[in-house]
Each structure stands twice: as structure tokens, then as C-alpha cells.
Chains A and B, each alone.
Chain A
Amino acid sequence: MPSLSDSPPSRPPPVPVETHPNRSVGLKEQRALPDPTRLAPEDAYYASSLLRARPSSAHYDDSLRVLNPNAVHATSVAALRLPPAVPGVGGRKEVRKLRGTSRRRRRKGAWKKLLWVKQSYPDNYTDTETFLDHLQRNPRVRPYDFWPLVADSTVIVQHVCSVAIFVCCFVGIVQGRVSPVSVVCWGSVGTALGWVFWDSWILREHAESVHVAERASEGDDGSSSSSMTSSVNPSGATSSRPGAQKENQVHGLGLSMANNEPNQIASRKGPACGGDVDGNTQEPASPLSGPASDSLGGLSHEADMSPMFSSRNRQRLSTVKSAFLIYFALLGLSPILKSLTKSTASDSIWAMSCWLLIMNIFSFDYGSGEGAGATKFPASLSTNAAVMASTVLASRLPSTTHVFSLMLFSMEVFGLFPIFRRQLRHVSWTGHVLLTLTLVLVAGGAVGITLRGGWAAFVVGSILGSILTALTMGGCSWWLISLQKYKNVVTGPWDPARPIIRRHWD
């Protein structure tokens, strides 16, 4: 090759040098303290030296420190640094004087991570300092703590328990041990009680949010741009109810949307009650702009106290109305539901309802109803699966009364009970824990009775069930935490950037 005959002398074997005049930290110091969040070049091909091995030797806390996003923040913020295109000669001289040792660098010039400059380094030169410079590991990981994790898992336990109770009730009804009417009566009494509680909580929140809105309107800012009636502004609630706020922080919960849901359901249930809702003091359909709601809160607070209560009553009335609507619709539909799956074999029904209930458990919205953590699956998927499961189960029952009772009970368990649970967790953490305990005990007992029968079986089932639940909760939480050390999310400049667009044009 004619052109290459002269190339070898011009490319002497490269020696790693300081690549950048600005990177003034000595090489040796950096070598001695490798940044654990960065890969060394060796990591790429010595598979054994990857992070996976590192935390196993170190204590778990150390690995968590590695996972900690704050440690990585510095590198994440640094944009792709560009060395100056042509480093100033004067600056280079100064640096050289300071170091005075690297003779090679003087001859060759520093390697730059640029393509447009002709460099005297071979193409496969790997600069040990800038190589994988912008690699980040686990940039957005949030380490879990054991007890909060266990506390959060109670939500799942509650739901699984209520499903178990429902299934046991169905088995009892089918086997003739339990009267369907008594089941639905107890269920309805519980629902009514729950509604009374829920209503009082809503009332209290009304009063508080009105207070907040009043104070906010006296101030100058529009911090209470949320609607004055229902959605509690967490920042606003801090002063009036410090205890509740602390709970919210501890358990990572905030419930501003939960209150909206029952009303929405109510207005969905009957077209009649949709018209009743007064736009002034009830939910505004869309969040009002800040100043408007402020003036609303400021002007109408004292004058509106009594109309608000009356509208409160009107809403109660509409709830009762829609409850009766559902009641009678269900009563009318029961004969149809009874013969719905006559031609289907029972085996298929059991299998189908099993799958539907599993679907319900897995797609249930366990979140606190915050807008930010919106679930991927719509909550309606879960509810629909449950209703369909109870429909096919109900069609196995002998009489219309049975079918009606089971359907009503399933509405209560799968439709209304979750709303109550969510609100309860928001309002009182002790209540939430007590409810969880009760549910676990009842579910365990119900399973015991279903399997064996008798009150002894109930007690044994409760005890076994609660022990099993506690072990599962602890075990799963511990497992999840111990799995965290395998987390190895690698991001870098090669990932497609997420565009940040301020407003949408539609």
C-alpha cells in the first residue's frame, strides 16, 4: 500500500494521557477512587466484574447508595461536554508548566471525543477517562424501606380478602348453608353504615376546604385553584390538619380524587341526578381557573353556607334515588340473569369466573387515586371483570331471589366497598389497619368454614389465615427489597431523548 507505508511511524503506540486541560484532577486520584456509578472499560467485557457482583460483596446499604440517584446527579446534569475545538495555545502551556511531566502529550496533543478533527490516535483508541463518561446507572431508582412497603401492601391484602369473602359467600349460598337474603342484608347494612361514615367525612372535608379557600383568597396567590368543594389541596390541608398530613407523608398517600368518584358514579347511574348537581357549589365540571375559583371562594363562603348544606341534602337524596334505581333494575333483570348461561356447562363457569376474578385482582386500581400515578389499566376493567364473574356465577343459582341477592352483594363488594376503603385509608390510618385486620380474620374464617364447617373451623381459619397473610406480606416485601440489588438500568446519550413540549395544539 503506497499510502500506508508512512503511516506506522506517524502513529506511535498510544499512551493514555490526560485528555482534557480542564479536567485538572490528577489521573492517579481518579484511578484510586473509581466512581461506582460509572463503568470502567473493563466492565464491558469482564462480565464477572459487573455491578452484579459488587453489591453482593458489599453491604446492602452500600448498594443502595450506588442506586441513590443523588450520587449520580452530577453526571446526569452535565451535558455532553465539548472540549474547545482548538485549545488555546497559551492555556496549554500553562497546564504543561503545572504538570511538567507528560512529555508525550506535548508531542501528540490530547485525544478529543470528536469526529471532525484529524487525530494522531488510531481509530480504535479508547480513552479510559472519557469512555462511557455519560453512562448512568439506575438514575431514577427509589430504594424501598421494609415497613412502609408492608404498610402499602395492606391495600392488596384488603382487596384479596374481600374477593375471598365474596367467593365464600357464593359457595355458602350454592351449598345452601347460608341464606342469600341474610348475606345481602348484612351487606346492605354494612354499605349503609359505610355510606353514613363516608358522608360525614365528605362533610368535614367540605368545611375544611372552604376554610382553606377562604384563607387562600385572602392571600394573593392562586394556590387553591382546585375546586373549593371536594378536592382537598394537600398543601392547604397541612395547617388545619397536621396529623393527617403527616400520615399522608408517611404512607405516601394523597387522596384528592377519591371524593370525585362516588359523585361521578352517582351521576353515571341515573340521568336524573346528573341534572340535580348544582354547578356552583358542587363539582365544577372542569377545574376553574385560579382567579375565578378564588373569587368564588371569597365571595360566596359565608353566604353559601346554608345553600351548601341544602345542596348536600339534595345530593344525598339523589344518591338514595340512584340506589333505588339500581335496586329495582337488578330486581327486574334477575330472571334474565338466572337463565343466562343455562346452555353452558358448570365447569366452564367455574373456570371463567376464576379467571375473571384473577383479572379483577390483578387489574384493580390499588393506587391512592392521584392523577400522576394513573394506572395503565382503566379501573373499569377490574370492575367489569368482577361484575361479569358474579353474573356468570349468579346464573348457576336456583331462584331469582338468590340471583338478585348475589348480584346486589357483588355490587356492594366490588363497586362501593373499594371507594369506602380508599376514603378510610385517607381519613384514618388506624381505621385502615383495623379494617384490614377484620377483613383478614373474616376471610380466613370464611375459608375455614367453607372447607370444614363449624365455628371451630372459623377460628382455626382466622388464625391460620392471619399468620399466612402476615408471612406473605413480610416475605414479599423482603423479596422485593432483596431483588433491588439486581436492578441495573443503564442509560446514556444513546437513548432516544424524551422531547419536552410545553403545550399541545389540540
Chain B
Amino acid sequence: MPYNIAMVSDFFFPQPGGVESHIYQLSTLIDRGHKVIIITHAYKGRTGVRYLTNGLKVYHVPFFVIHRESTMPTVFSFFPIFRNIVIREQIQIVHGHASLSSFCHEAILHARTMGLRTVFTDHSLFGFADAASILTNKLLKFILSDVDHVICVSHTCKENTVLRASLDPLMVSVIPNAVVAENFRPAEPRSVKPIGPNDTITIVVISRLFYNKGTDLLIAAIPRILASHPNVRFIIAGSGPKAIDLEQMLERNVLQDKVEMLGPVRHEEVRDVMVRGHIYLHPSLTEAFGTVIVEAASCGLYVVCTRVGGIPEVLPQHMTTFAKPEEDDIVLATGKAIAALRSNKVRTDRFHDQVKMMYSWTDVAERTERVYQGISGDISPEEFYGYYPGEGLEASGDRVRSFALIDRLKRYYGCGVWAGKLFCLCVVIDFLLYAFLEMWFPRANIDIARSWPKKVHQRNENHSLGNEQKNDRDRLHAN
């Protein structure tokens, strides 16, 4: 059964980034017969409704942006226009992305008030110690105490999210990111010429040059690697606050002819940079998934990376050398990788096909679809959540989240001594706002948007539309 899905996030094109392309790539759900729209805030020069080339409809809602393209968290002010869009597009499932996006959090709250199923995808890892994390975690707990399902991009990310938001682990699915393997092919005629003992080996680094990307480790390790391996060159792409330190290091050690700094590169150009090298070095300090190392492996590069976050889950051992996040260990691991390449033990020419088998967006879309089916009741809860006899896990019940206000309030009340009461207040106000909007802007006055014409599933969808409208009315009466 096809669904009408709204993806909500602060982060979408034209801004580049991992979350953005994840949301875009998830719209392969359209090819599986679903209807997908995207709601994001207005970017400079982009306001209103836009269609992307694959029939994806994007709502750019004008909203006040405070920091790094995150909107101002104003709990309720997004509700009227959100309700309008949802009714207009006959949305059944609201899917929010990224835990720093207040747009997504608000949308999930309002969607639950309106009686829609919600999914949240977490793309990042957070600690528990500093004040910013504590605040974010509390907000996340607020939003996720009533969400229907959560998707995380790696198992480490799942553990993190379960702890941060006190979730039932069975309500959290792990669906990794993927890469478009066609865009990351190895260099064309890679005439499988074995690397001789004196041939030049090029190490590629593509990352934003920030502290948490491990640029300090990189700065410390490069001179030592170059000192012990004369026939090695570096290509570094990316920009950021640590770029100056990197350049200073190059000047101090006079390494300009061995290290090439490319500056920022666009995502389309990443492949062209990668295929110039043999090894991809990724010294990051924290990473939920690390799409870039999958991209590098897909380009046929041997990967040297730090063993942090979700990275150890991402690639098989024959494609990677792991290092501790220490200067000495990175130098050591890179040396090992160079030796392995020189002895031609690593079949990098096979990496592309292997990665293609491991990660594809079609697979991700399929698995996401199963989540949608699970929360909408198309798969029975026993099957979706699994049955664990004697585990005590099934005792928590309450996985199929009812829309009754009292049940929702119960869930929010458990968030904390003071926070619980505050959250309940917010939810009650949200509900009153909803009732008010229903009176003031009645559903009947909102036009229904026509769907983008599709070749297949056309009849099927029309059929479901009628049903859906009726369902909506019923639900409204029930409320």
C-alpha cells in the first residue's frame, strides 16, 4: 500500500551535506509507488514550492534561521502552515531528519497531535557531559517520547539514541546510509599494474578541517609519514578553521611539493579527487556512519581510519586498516597500509563491485518502507517488533502508540520531574491550538494538491486517495 510521506528537516538542498543527500536519496521511495514531499525552511533565493527533477516536491517555508541553517525553536508557530501542507498533500507519515533540526522536532509533535504516524532518523552522535548535549538530549527525549519509530544510521548510533531518549530498543531500527555507486567508480581503465616498491603512493584526505574531524592528528602525522616513506604524496581537500594550522605545518616542514591542498571541493568532484589516490586516510574523532569512507572504498581506495563511533561497522576488514585516535598509531597504520599496497596483497580493483553489493539506496528505501508498514499496521506488531519469549522486552507494550491524548500525556509525563510537566503543558496547548485551527480554518476549505503524474501505480493511488480522505474525516470525528 503506497503512503504519502512528508520528510521534514531544516537541512536540504541547496545546502550541501550528508543529511541533505540522504533525504534526497530516500526519495527513491517515489519509484516504489509512494508519494514523497519535503518540507524545509526557506533558503536564500528559494521560497515557496519547488519541484525537483524526479518529481519530488519541496516546500520551502519562510522561517527565522538562527544558527548554521537551523531554525528558531518556537514550539507552536510552525503548526498552522504545517497543518495546511499536511492536509493539502494528504500526508500519512511524517518523517523527520537530524536531531539538531528544530523544524523536524516541531513537525513530529504537531503530526502526533494531528493523528499521523511519525518516524525520526538520527544522523549524529552526542555525548552526555556538556551543557549543550544535556539540553539537546532533553529536547530529543521530549520529541521522541511519542514518536512511532526511530531510524539510526549505525548500531553505535542506535545505542546512543536509545540512551539519550530512553527509548525501547525495539522501536529503533538501524538502516545505514548508502552511496550511489555509479557516481563513485574507480579510475576508468585501471590497467591493473601492480604497484612497484618505488612507485609513488598517493594518500587522499577529504574532510572538513574541523577539530572533530581529527585534523590535529592529521597535522601531527603527515610529516612523520612523509619522513619514513619517501615515495608518498598527499592530496588534501576541504576547508575549515584548521586549514591555517595545516598550511603552517606544511611551511614549517617545507612539504609543499609533497602535499597538495585543493581547498573545498563540491560533492560531484569528490570522485575525481579520490581516483587520483591509492589510500584514503580518515582521522575523524567521532562519526555516526562515515559515508565518505564507503565512497572512497567504492572508488577503489584502501581505507585507513580511526576506530571511533560507527566506523568499525561500516566496511569489511580487507578494505580497511584501523588505528587508534593517536598520532603514533595513525602513522603505524598508514605505514602498514602502504606496505600492504606495495606487496599487492590488497585487491582494490574489486572494491567497487563489493561496495555496490553492500550499500544501495534501493535497499535503504526497501527497509525504510518496512518501517512505514510496521508503524501503519500493515505488518502485525508481533512480526514487526519481533517476539522474544521470556526476554521481558515485550512487557513494555505500548509500542503501537495510540493517539489518545491521555496516553500521549502519560508518555510525556515520564520525561522528568519538572520537564515532564512542562512537556505535558506544551502538548495540551498544541492540542488546543489544533482544535482552534480546525474551527478557524476548516479542513473543507483547504484544497487538495494534485499528485505528480506517475506512469505506474496511478490507478492504485487514486483509489487510495478516496479512502484516505474518508479515514481522515473519521479520525477527526474520533478526536
- Asked whether any CB of chain A lies closer than 8 Å to the CB of B64, the reply is no
- The reply to whether A13 and B382 form a contact with Cβ atoms under 8 Å apart is yes
| Inter-chain contacts of B414 with A (CB < 8 A) | 47
- Which residues of A in the span 54-97 have a Cβ within 8 Å of any Cβ on B? 79-80, 82, 85
CA distance A497 to B369 in the complex (A): 35
Verify if A493 is at the interface (C-beta below 8 Å from B).
yes
| C-alpha spacing A126/B369, complex, angstroms | 19
| CB neighbors of B among A1-19 (8 A) | 1, 3-4, 7-8, 11, 13-16
Q: Do residues B163 and A39 form an inter-chain contact, with CB atoms below 8 A? A: yes
User: Cβ of A496: which chain B residues have Cβ within 8 Å of it?
Assistant: 127, 212, 285-286, 308
Asked whether B125 lies within 8 Å of A494 as measured between CB atoms, the reply is yes
B307 touches A79 (CB 8 A): yes
> For B163, what are the chain A residues with a Cβ–Cβ distance below 8 Å?
39, 44, 132, 135, 490, 492
Query: Is the beta-carbon distance between A499 and B327 smaller than 8 angstroms?
Result: yes
CA distance in complex: A44, B137 (Å): 14
Chain B residues with CB under 8 A of A45: 162, 166-169, 396
Across the interface, which residues of A come within 8 angstroms of B220, CB to CB?
Answer: 501-503, 505
B96 within 8 Å of A by Cβ? no
Name the segment of B261-269, B313-321, B422-430, B468-476 touching the other chain: B313-321
- Does A220 interact with chain B (Cβ within 8 Å)? no
Q: Tell me how far the C-beta of B442 lies from the nearest C-beta in chain A, rounded to whole angstroms.
A: 35
Question: Which interface residue of B313, B370, B384, B386 has the most chain A CB atoms within 10 A?
Answer: B386
Let me know if B316 and A116 touch, CB within 8 A: yes
Set of chain A residues within 8 Å of B373, measured between Cβ atoms = 1, 4
For A81, the closest partner residue in chain B by CB is B312
> A270 to nearest B CB, angstroms?
39
Residues of A within 8 A of B327 (CB): 499-502
Q: Does B260 contact A (CB under 8 A)?
A: no
* Beta-carbon contact of B309 and A494 below 8 Å: yes
Cα A115 to Cα B216 with chains together (Å): 29
A489 to B317 CA separation, bound complex (whole angstroms): 32
CB of A371 closer than 8 Å to a CB of B: no
Q: How far is the CB of A29 from chain B (nearest CB, A)?
A: 16
Q: Are the CB atoms of A493 and B392 closer together than 8 Å?
A: no
Q: Does B435 contact A (CB under 8 A)?
A: no
Q: Does A486 contact B (CB under 8 A)?
A: no
List A contacts of B389 (CB < 8 A). 15
Interface residues of B in 16-69 (CB under 8 A from A): 32-33
Q: Say whether, besides A41-B169, A123-B367, A497 and B385 are in contact (CB < 8 Å).
A: no
A128 within 8 A of B: yes
Q: Mark B358-372, 1 if CB is under 8 A from A, else 0.
A: 110000001101110
- Residues from 32 to 47 in A contacting B, C-beta threshold 8 Å: 39, 41-42, 44-47
Residues of A with C-beta under 8 A to B156: 492-494
Does A126 contact B125, Cβ atoms closer than 8 Å? Answer: no
- Render B394-431 as a binary contact track against A, CB cut-off 8 A, 1 for contact: 00100000000000000000100000000000000000
> What residues on A are CB-neighbors of B173 within 8 Å?
122-124
Contacts of B324 in A (CB 8 A): 79, 500
Asked if A145 CB lies within 8 Å of chain B CBs, one says no
Give the Cβ gap from B172 to chain A, nearest Cβ, in Å: 6
Q: How far is the CA of A404 from the CA of B455 in the complex (A)?
A: 95
Q: Could you tell me if A115 and B393 are in contact, using CB atoms closer than 8 angstroms?
A: no
Identify which of residues 242-257 in chain A touch chain B, using a CB-to-CB cut-off of 8 Å: none
A residues near B314, Cβ cutoff 8 Å:
115-116
Residue from A13, A117, A123, A126 within 8 A of B175 (CB atoms): A123
In the assembled complex, the Cα of A39 lies from the Cα of B159 at a distance in Å of 11
Residue B388, interface by CB 8 Å: yes
- B441 interfacial by beta-carbon distance below 8 Å: no
B159 close to A131 (CB less than 8 A): yes
B176 surroundings in chain A (CB, below 8 A): 115
Contact with A along B193-222 (1 / 0, CB 8 A): 000000000000000000010101101100
Asked whether B71 is an interface residue with its Cβ less than 8 Å from the other chain, the reply is no
> CA A427 – CA B167 in complex, angstroms?
56
Q: Do the beta carbons of B219 and A492 come within 8 Å of each other?
A: no
Also in contact, A490 and B128, with CB within 8 A (given A13-B387, A115-B314, A501-B220)? yes
Docked-complex contact B127 and A44, CB < 8 angstroms: no
- B155 adjacent to A115 (CB under 8 Å): yes
Collect the chain B residues with CB atoms within 8 Å of residue A125's CB: 386
Cα distance A161–B35 when bound, in Å?
A: 74
Q: Are B169 and A80 in contact (CB under 8 A)?
A: no
Interface contact B127-A495, CB-CB below 8 Å: yes
The docked-state distance in angstroms from the alpha carbon of A505 to that of B222 is 12
Report the separation of the CA atoms of residues A231 and B248 in the bound assembly, to the nearest whole angstrom.
36
**Considering the complex, which residues of chain A in the window 99-122 have a beta carbon less than 8 Å from any beta carbon of chain B?**
113-117, 122
Are the CB atoms of A499 and B160 closer together than 8 Å?
no
A494 contacts B159, CB within 8 Å?
yes
B478 CB, min distance to chain A CBs, angstroms = 28
Q: Is A498 an interface residue, CB under 8 A from the partner?
A: yes
CA distance A124 to B374 in the complex (A): 11
Q: Which of B162, B175, B308, B316 contacts A493 (CB 8 A)?
A: B308
Measured between C-beta atoms, what is the minimum distance from A77 to chain B in Å?
12
Give the chain A neighbours of B312 by CB distance below 8 A: 80, 82
Complex interface residues of chain B between 290 and 347 (CB less than 8 A to chain A): 306-310, 312-318, 324-328
Tell me if B126 counts as interface (CB < 8 A to partner A): yes
Report A-chain residues with C-beta under 8 Å of the C-beta of B307.
79-80
Cα-based distance from A129 to B309 in the complex (angstroms): 19
Which of A80, A124, A132, A500 is in CB contact (< 8 Å) with B170?
Answer: A124
CB distance from B336 to the nearest CB of A (A): 16
- The CA of A1 and the CA of B2, in the complex, are separated in Å by 8
In the assembled complex, the CB of A10 is this many whole angstroms from the nearest CB of chain B, namely: 12
Does B279 lie at the interface of the complex (its beta carbon under 8 Å from any beta carbon of A)? Answer: no
A residues in contact with B131, CB < 8 Å: none
- Measured between beta carbons, the chain B residues less than 8 angstroms from A132 are 159, 162-163
A125–chain B nearest beta-carbon distance, Å: 7
Other-chain contact of A498, B249, B252, B325, B392 (Cβ < 8 Å): B325
Known: A7-B370, A124-B149, A495-B127. 16 other contacts (CB 8 A): A4-B373, A11-B383, A16-B391, A45-B168, A46-B396, A115-B289, A122-B370, A123-B173, A124-B171, A124-B172, A126-B172, A132-B163, A496-B285, A498-B285, A502-B328, A505-B220
7 contacts between A and B (CB under 8 A): A14-B386, A44-B166, A115-B155, A124-B174, A135-B159, A490-B163, A501-B327
Which 8 A-B pairs give the minimum distances between C-beta atoms?
A123-B173, A497-B325, A494-B125, A500-B326, A496-B286, A126-B169, A494-B160, A124-B173
